[in-house]
Amino acid sequence: MSGAAVPDAGTQAREDDAAALERSRRWLAEAQRLAALGSWEWDVRTGAVLFSDELRAVYRLDRSVTPTFATCLEMVHPDDRPRAERAILAALADGGVFDLDHRVVCGDGAVIWVRARGSVTRGEDGSPLLLVGTAQDVTERVAIEARLQESERRLLEAQRVARLGRWDWDVRSDVVVWSDDMFRIFGIPPAALVPTVEGYLARVHPDDRDELLQMLADVRAGREDYGLEHRVLRADGSVGWVSCRAAVVRDDDGAEVRLHGTATDVTERKLAELAAARATAELAARAEQLRRLAFTDPLTGLANRALFADRLQHALDARPPAGVSVLLVDLDDFKDVNDVLGHQVGDRLLVEVAGRLTRCVRPEDTVARLGGDEFAVVLAEAAHGEQVARRIGAALDTPVRFGDRQLVPTGSIGLARVAGGEPVPADVLLQQADIAMYAAKRAGKGRYEVFDPTMSTAVLARADVENGLRQALDRDELVVHLQPLVDVTARAATRVEALVRWPRPSGLALPADFLPVAERSGLVRTLGQQVLRAACRGLAPWLAADPGRSVAVNVSPVQLREPDFATTVLGILARTGVGPRQLLLEVTETLFLEAGPRVVGQLAELRAAGIRVAIDDFGTGYSSLGRLQDLPVDGVKVDRTFVQQMGAGPGDAAILTAMVTLAHDLGLEVTAEGVETRDQATRLLELGVDHLQGHHLARPVSLDGLDDAVAAAGAAVRAAAGCPGRSGRATVQLVAGEDALGRAVRGALVRAGLAMAGPGEPPDAVVLVTARGEDALARPAALRPAGGAAVLVLCARADRATRARLLAAGADDVVVDPGCPADLADRVRGALRTAAAEAGG
């Protein structure tokens, strides 16, 4: 029987061993490939070096390259070669092993990191026979380690910057380890302290120690993570803040192994938070204070306007069956208290009034101070309105004493009420109370009035005037009429007053009809500018024809309080070509009662530019005649009421005479307005006023009728100057400047019974006024008029020799520093008699 040959047992065993060996080699090669691990051998005696296939792959060597010990060392990176050579030589010398990481320059030039390990096989005599080792590519591991080191470095740096310290407590050995930043937090050098749990607790602020111990107890009891901010005591004695976190590490049985955590220095943040908390508390306190201030009057403690409005609206929204009443209380003449006794007394009076008002109402009612001397009351029951108004009136009527002064703070009360459920807006109800309050003031003050719908008529009329005036100003519809003023010396109208008129459907409205509304609404600023501009523009040719002519324009106190008033006036003059000396501004006397530095400065600037200022309606204000010398004015216009009183009886012109005398003595120009009759004009000429104005002379006219009005006014004055009763008076021609001294002398002569000669009228005497006698030596002969009239020289100072020279030069008399006007007039009459005697002899 034939068949395949059957191997014997020995052959089979050898084949199996060979197969197993092959498998081991393959497994080893695969393991080396997977681990990037190659092996090598170096026969020390023959110098032969064997590389495994994987090592050739790691070093990227071609199979054609036969490695040697020298080539192996050359492949080690130059920077690592000395270290690798020392490790190998040391292993050969002592029979040990070597293990190191170093870089290798591969066959393709790439640089990798390998972990080289090797051991030495020695012969029986101890000499090294064989060096066997491995080389594993650890480039990726080294890169990872480098990144970890960099991360660790950055972490440490971040901890240092963040002042983050780390600690670790081995519970079993009771060993505590601190990082350097832990020592820095406490301000302790690392070498100066062995950290312990007790040492840490000793450096915790006593007030925070229990809380920290509780935290540690909670963590050890099973709480996974815990955080706490507490204070620490630093070595320099200062107190810092740390944010502490802790966690516990346990073994597999759950027993504590260690506690570890961090401590971050948060002193700066904590101090900032504490400062912010304090600031927040302060802001909250200030907010509360502001809230109180926002709704409380700081002087009296009463509700203010805002809280009053809120309470009133709340009361109206509730719609009580009895309705709601509002009372407005305005103290009468309170401004006089401030002006006379001072604001301190005024404030004390307001506090006293607040207390009295509060005692007149129920707790559920509201008393408020709306501002200044104005108070308001909200009554939840309208039926009690008049009863409360009477109660308030009686309470205010009780005297109050401040030191040695006693005041009775009366008030005008306006009452408005709305029936229950009636929908009346709060502002309307308050406006009604305000209207009623002003009605109480007009009715005599110190009383109350209940609002009546008819009271709104006047308010609506004022609103109509304001709206119409605003439109008229926008459209430039106001017109200027002109009334001549006659210079009594020249017997001619050399000045006109610009008077504003408002054309309305009902006719021309006079200033009294709309100026109060213009001042209250602020429209007077625009109105005044338009009037001044229109007057200067229209009169420019008339004024340019004679430098002695001028225009008078009324100015409101409201205008003078504007900071740019003087600049505006001078700008209008410049644009219209009118000289400053041709403008006279008339202001009311009451302006100077409360004129502040701004008003005085405005007037000073205008007068410095040449503009003249006069007090209008003089004698009707509250200042005394003696104050004239302190006021920045150039003249006065006597109110028409004093002119109208002339002829009423004995002494009817006593006050007017005193005004004219005092004004002239102060060097002020005097104008009399309201001249309605020829007799009044004659009497005023006798008193020595400088200008006359009134309907008897000429009525206000438009620019087209100015020439006729000027001529008529001059003729009327000339007629009054020549009327019966003046024919026997001596006439005088005054040669003096238009200054204070000239006006004073002229007034003195007229009041002493002499008359000023009119233009073209030959005088009985000529009076030359000069400051120094020697300045007039060449003038007496030239001044002597035809007919041999007397010439008097009036001078402030002249010695005896100068007087003699003046007499020799042709003067009939020389008067130095005369006394009263009568003495001066007697000297003039004496000179006339002497001249007449000499002419008759």
> CA 719 to CA 692: how far, in whole Å?
13
Please give the distance of CA 47 from its chain centroid, rounded to a whole number: 99
pLDDT tens, residue by residue, 168-217? 889 888 898 888 888 888 888 888 888 888 888 888 999 999 988 888 88
**Distances from the Cα of 450 to the Cα of 289, 326, 418, angstroms:** 37, 10, 12
> CA 649 to CA 76: how far, in whole Å?
141
User: Could you tell me which of 106, 105, 176, 114 has the C-alpha nearest to residue 140?
Assistant: 114
Through-space distance between the first and last CA atoms of the chain, rounded to whole angstroms? 214
Strand-strand pairing, 790-797 and 813-816: parallel
Task: Give the Cβ contact number of residue 6 at 10 Å.
Answer: 8
Structure tokens at 123: 């012969």
> CA 812 to CA 632: how far, in whole Å?
39
Query: What Rg do the C-alpha atoms of the chain give, in angstroms?
Result: 58
> CA 747 to CA 626: how far, in whole Å?
18
User: Could you tell me which of 534, 524, 526 has the C-alpha nearest to residue 556?
Assistant: 524
**Distances from the Cα of 334 to the Cα of 249, 304, 370, 395, 737, angstroms:** 84, 19, 15, 16, 47
Strand-strand pairing, 49-51 and 128-137: unpaired
Give me the residue label for tokens 């005092």: 662
The SS3 call for residue 594 is coil
Q: What is the block-wise mean pLDDT of the chain (841 residues), using blocks of 10 residues?
A: 57 61 53 67 89 88 87 91 90 83 92 91 85 89 82 63 76 87 86 85 90 84 75 90 86 85 85 86 81 83 91 87 90 83 88 93 92 91 85 90 82 89 85 90 88 79 86 93 92 94 90 87 91 95 94 91 91 95 90 72 91 87 60 88 76 78 84 92 88 94 94 91 58 72 72 70 81 82 67 83 85 76 67 62 50
Exposure of 231 in the CB half-sphere (CA atoms within 13 A): 11
Q: What is the 3-state secondary structure (H, E, C) of 787-824?
A: CCCEEEEEEEECCHHHHHHHHHCCCCEEEECCCCHHHH
- 795 contacts: CB under 8 Å, gap ≥ 6: 769, 770, 771, 772, 773, 776, 814, 815, 816
Task: Give the Cβ contact number of residue 18 at 10 Å.
Answer: 10
> CA 324 to CA 318: how far, in whole Å?
10
Asked if residue 684 lies in contact with residue 692, where contact means CB atoms within 8 angstroms, the answer is: yes
**Distances from the Cα of 515 to the Cα of 582, 613, 806, 832, angstroms:** 25, 20, 57, 53
Which residues partner with 165 through β-bridges?
263
The SS3 call for residue 365 is coil
Structure tokens at 186: 């406490």
Angle at 752 between CA 748 and CA 758, to 5 degrees: 75
> CA 669 to CA 495: how far, in whole Å?
13
Model-level pTM? 0.50
> CA 695 to CA 442: how far, in whole Å?
32
Buried/exposed code over 33-43 (b: 16+ C-beta within 10 A; e: otherwise):
eeebbbbbebe
The one-letter code for the residue type at 717 is: V
- 712 contacts: CB under 8 Å, gap ≥ 6: 484, 697, 698
Q: What local confidence, expressed as pLDDT, does residue 601 receive?
A: 85
Buried/exposed code over 111-145 (b: 16+ C-beta within 10 A; e: otherwise):
ebbbbbbbebeeeeeeebeebebbbbbbbeebeee
- 429 contacts: CB under 8 Å, gap ≥ 6: 312, 316, 324, 326, 416, 418
Helix, strand, coil percentages, rounded to 5, for the chain: 45, 25, 30
> CA 668 to CA 688: how far, in whole Å?
12
The one-letter code for the residue type at 622 is: Y
The SS3 call for residue 402 is strand
**DSSP state letters, 172-207:** TTTEEEE-HHHHHHHT--GGG----HHHHHHTB-HH
> CA 655 to CA 659: how far, in whole Å?
6
Asked if residue 197 lies in contact with residue 167, where contact means CB atoms within 8 angstroms, the answer is: no
How many residues appear in the chain?
Answer: 841
Structure tokens at 655: 């006050």
pLDDT tens, residue by residue, 334-391? 887 887 788 888 899 999 999 999 999 998 899 999 988 999 999 987 778 899 999 9
> CA 432 to CA 459: how far, in whole Å?
10
> CA 378 to CA 324: how far, in whole Å?
7
Q: What local confidence, expressed as pLDDT, does residue 649 receive?
A: 61
